[in-house]
Amino acid sequence: MAAVRSPAPAVRAEGVTKRFGATVALAGVDLQVPEGAVFGLLGPNGAGKTTLVRILATLLTPEEGRAEVLGHDVVGEPAAVRELLGLTGQFAAVDEILTGRENLEMFGRLFKLSRDEARRRAAELLERFDLADAADRPARTYSGGMRRRLDLASSLLTRPRILFLDEPTTGLDPRSRNQIWAIVRELRREGTTLLLTTQYLEEADQLTDRIAVIDHGKVIAEGTGSELKDRVGGQILELELSSAAQRDEAQRVLARVGCGEPEPDERPDRLTLPAPRDGLELIEEAAAELRRAGIGVSDLGLRRPTLDDVFLQLTGAPPSEDGGLPRAVVAARTRAQRRPMLRLPRPSAREIRLGIVDAAVVTGRNLRHFIRQPQLLIFSTIQPVMFVLLFVYVFGGAVRGSLPGGVKYVDFLLPGIFVQSVAFRATQTAVGLAEDLERGVVDRFRSMPMARSAVLLGRTVADLVRNVLIIGLMIVVGYVVGFRFHGGLPGALAAIVVVAAFGFALSWIFAFVALAVRGAEAAQAAGFVVVFPLVFASSVFVPVGTMPDWLQTFAKASPITLTADAARSYALSGGPASLGSAAAWIGGLLALFIPLCVWRYRRMG
């Protein structure tokens, strides 16, 4: 089948730079990847491979220079780029809780396949990647090799024209590595352009048509495997000495016959040197000179250079594990391509419809997480249940006297408990989002042609559903200890709606926390430190009137008090008190934090 060739190369990068604080990750990368090729990006840890791949996959913005994928600028036309690419990042971005099949079906839906197509394509890929037997097990039970294959399959749902593979075999056992290699070769036969990064010289040599060697954020050499080998000179002379003490002398003797600088070697009794002259003649001369100098040699031989030798020759050092040490800041130059601070594109009707589907798919996925982890829901209700019991039976007697006439404490307390439940649960929004960020799931979402807001909306809406469920459970617990709604069904529903809306607003705050601080634990800790005092300095448990004056001022204005009071008046009498202020808080928080989250999400990287 004749592939349609576009005149533009599959990837063109010109002078691409990227810094992280003081670290220069890319110091001006130029690269061209022809379409249909398997292109290898070879470099040690910290060389800048992942940064470059993330820029090409539209996950990071370059500071200077420009990059195009299949003729589309990665900064100017990220949506077009995302339509064409598949990305398998350095760390498998699979959803651990979902099964392999569910993972593929979810990503298929987000790639705009219909439900049936997604199902069919998922089954096909599971079969092809030898995952059919494990298809209905949670991905958390998969081995490293299986996860990689699932991750790779997730990138191939729509047969991308170009696939980025970031260290696809790092950390895999030889059998899994061979499976990945076979897949790469098959994709190449099918005409997919591949850009793969690797630290393994053997891998680049085996799999790729062309290799760029990258080190300290710069391409330091480029060519086919053989061209790179030729750079080292014809051959490599290797010898083992009988005594390591004679190493320096042996080196001097061999320099006289034309050998180059030896490669660094952890074994002192071994010498590996480039041998630029005709092999046989050289080995004869070398042997004669060594014997004349009285140097004992236990082994002497010539071999073709490996890519390791190429690296040693090009950089003067073996591919090391510490290439990622922070480097000096290069002089700050103008930042050529910056995204505007807050661009609010006006979506078309079709985009809105697709965005709603995306958000629904992500919501469904997050709700599945709750269903699969019932322990989370149980833990979420233990704490409010304990508060109910503690306050009704331990502190309730003391509080009763300060309540308005005729109000039972349990009736006062329960609406407050609804509010504190959603307030404490809001930190879970941050934890869930932070985990998705850490596990690379968000990267996969961001590299796909899906609505940008769907990830955030899917998270906050799922948490809204969960909050309503928790309020429902707390109502059941309340009824057991004597709580009753006195404002009829409309009053009860209105109380639930107010609390749920407040919880929804809090979810957006904590989504922003997760995007800003990164790390699930940090998000959780930050949340607790803020929520705990706010909940206690409010009318959740006791009327504000019982507090000292200075605290009353604060507690009266607190959105927690206002929401609790509004819910309480609906529950007690069916009529609102402080609804206006509560609604103003909720509306204000949403109006502030939704755009903040979207802005932060768009500008990640």
Distance CA 427, CA 530 (A): 10
- Interior angle at CA 52, CA 328 and CA 453, nearest 5: 110
Q: Which stretch binds ligand ADP (CB under 6 A): 49-57, 301-309, 406-414, 490-498?
A: 49-57
- The CB-of-20 to Mg ion minimum distance in angstroms stands at 13
- Total residues in contact with ligand ADP, by rule CB under 6 A: 12
Residue with tokens 């007697």: 397
Instruction: Tell me if 198 contacts Mg ion by CB under 5 A.
Output: no
Backbone angles phi, psi at 604, to 5 degrees: -60, 135
Instruction: Tell me if 246 contacts Mg ion by CB under 5 A.
Output: no
C-beta closer to ligand ADP: residue 197 or 427? 197
- The CB-of-203 to ligand ADP minimum distance in angstroms stands at 14
Helices (H), ranges, 58-167: 78-84, 100-110, 115-128, 144-155
Q: How many CA atoms lie within 13 A of 107 on its CB side?
A: 33
Instruction: Tell me if 58 contacts Mg ion by CB under 5 A.
Output: no
Instruction: Tell me if 199 contacts Mg ion by CB under 5 A.
Output: no
Length of the chain: 605
- 254: alpha, beta or left? (left if phi > 0; alpha if psi -120 to 50): alpha
Instruction: Tell me if 47 contacts ligand ADP by CB under 6 A.
Output: yes
Q: Using CB under 6 A, pick the residue from 17, 51, 235, 420 that binds ligand ADP.
A: 51
Instruction: Tell me if 50 contacts Mg ion by CB under 5 A.
Output: yes
Cβ–Cβ under 8 Å, residues 510 and 430: yes
Instruction: Tell me if 45 contacts ligand ADP by CB under 6 A.
Output: yes
- Interior angle at CA 518, CA 517 and CA 522, nearest 5: 70
- The CB-of-155 to Mg ion minimum distance in angstroms stands at 17
Strand arrangement of the beta sheet that strand 85-88 belongs to: 85-88, 162-166, 193-198, 38-42, 210-215, 218-223
| AA identity, residue 49 | K
- The CB-of-91 to ligand ADP minimum distance in angstroms stands at 11
- The CB-of-204 to Mg ion minimum distance in angstroms stands at 14
Name the residue with the smallest CB distance to Mg ion.
50
C-beta closer to ligand ADP: residue 551 or 604? 604
Please give the helix or strand (H or E) that residue 12 lies within, else none.
Answer: strand 11-20
C-beta closer to Mg ion: residue 86 or 527? 86
Q: Which does 319 bind (CB under 5 to 8 A by kind): ligand ADP, Mg ion, none?
A: none
Give the three-state DSSP class for 18.
Answer: strand
Site string for ligand ADP, 311-350 (x = CB under 6 A): -------------x--------------------------
Q: How far is CA 318 from CA 89, 226, 285, in A?
A: 25, 19, 28
Instruction: Tell me if 88 contacts Mg ion by CB under 5 A.
Output: no
Scored b (16 or more CB within 10 A) or e, 117-135 reads bbbebbeebbeebebeebb
Cβ–Cβ under 8 Å, residues 471 and 418: yes
Residue with tokens 């968000």: 442
Distance CA 551, CA 557 (A): 10
| AA identity, residue 572 | L
Instruction: Tell me if 208 contacts ligand ADP by CB under 6 A.
Output: no
Residues 12-31 that bind ligand ADP (CB under 6 A): 20, 23, 25
Q: Which does 43 bind (CB under 5 to 8 A by kind): Mg ion, ligand ADP, none?
A: ligand ADP
Check the CA dihedral 317-319-320-324 and report its sign: positive
Q: Which does 25 bind (CB under 5 to 8 A by kind): Mg ion, ligand ADP, none?
A: ligand ADP
- The CB-of-32 to ligand ADP minimum distance in angstroms stands at 19
Instruction: Tell me if 90 contacts Mg ion by CB under 5 A.
Output: yes
Give the bridge partners for 88, in sequence order.
165
Q: Using CB under 6 A, pick the residue from 43, 262, 449, 458 that binds ligand ADP.
A: 43
Q: Which does 89 bind (CB under 5 to 8 A by kind): ligand ADP, Mg ion, none?
A: none
- The CB-of-196 to ligand ADP minimum distance in angstroms stands at 12
Instruction: Return residues touching ligand ADP (CB under 6 A).
Output: 20, 23, 25, 43, 45-51, 324
Instruction: Return residues touching Mg ion (CB under 5 A).
Output: 49-50, 90
